[in-house]
């Protein structure tokens, strides 16, 4: 954005100032890109199994021991060794293939 503004300004400025305007725009863009890349490396999104472990899920098909739970709007196969009834809240402990291993939240 800064580069675009500086190029447009360069069209209306006299000779030494138009060059200075474009160089200033290039410098600002370089700083923005460097800053953005540092932020991108620092704030890695958590995805996959490690992001799901510890989250709460709602039981939609009773888990005695196998059933289904809803996590962030998605239905997942689940296994709960303690057993959980429909509507109960469970915590995700681990992931085995495409099956979530869950335990009761109160337990």
Q: Where are the domains of the chain?
A: 2-42, 49-104
The predicted structure's pLDDT at residue 38: 92
* More reliable by pLDDT, 48 or 17: 17
State the pLDDT at residue 106. Answer: 67
Pick the CATH number of 49-104 from 1.10.3720.10, 2.40.30.20, 2.40.50.140, 3.30.460.80: 2.40.50.140
Query: Long-range contacts: 3-9, Cβ < 8 Å, 24+?
Result: 3/28, 3/29
Which tokens in the block code for residue 66?
Answer: 């196998």
pTM of the entire predicted model = 0.56
Q: pLDDT band for 101, please (50, 70, 90 cuts).
A: very high
Q: What is the pLDDT of residue 42?
A: 86
Residue 74 has pLDDT above 70, yes or no: yes
pLDDT at position 17 is 92
Is the pLDDT at 107 greater than 70? The verdict is no
């Amino acid at each position: 954005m800064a580069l675009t503004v500086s190029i447009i300004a360069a069209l209306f400025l006299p000779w030494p100032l138009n060059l200075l305007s474009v160089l200033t725009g290039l410098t600002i863009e370089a700083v923005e890109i460097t800053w953005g890349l540092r932020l991108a490396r620092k704030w890695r999104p958590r995805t996959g199994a490690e992001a799901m472990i510890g989250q709460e899920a709602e039981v939609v098909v009773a888990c005695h021991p196998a059933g289904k739970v809803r996590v962030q709007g998605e239905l997942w196969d689940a296994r709960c060794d303690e057993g959980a009834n429909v509507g109960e809240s469970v915590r995700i402990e681990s992931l085995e293939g495409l099956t979530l291993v869950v335990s009761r939240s109160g337990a």
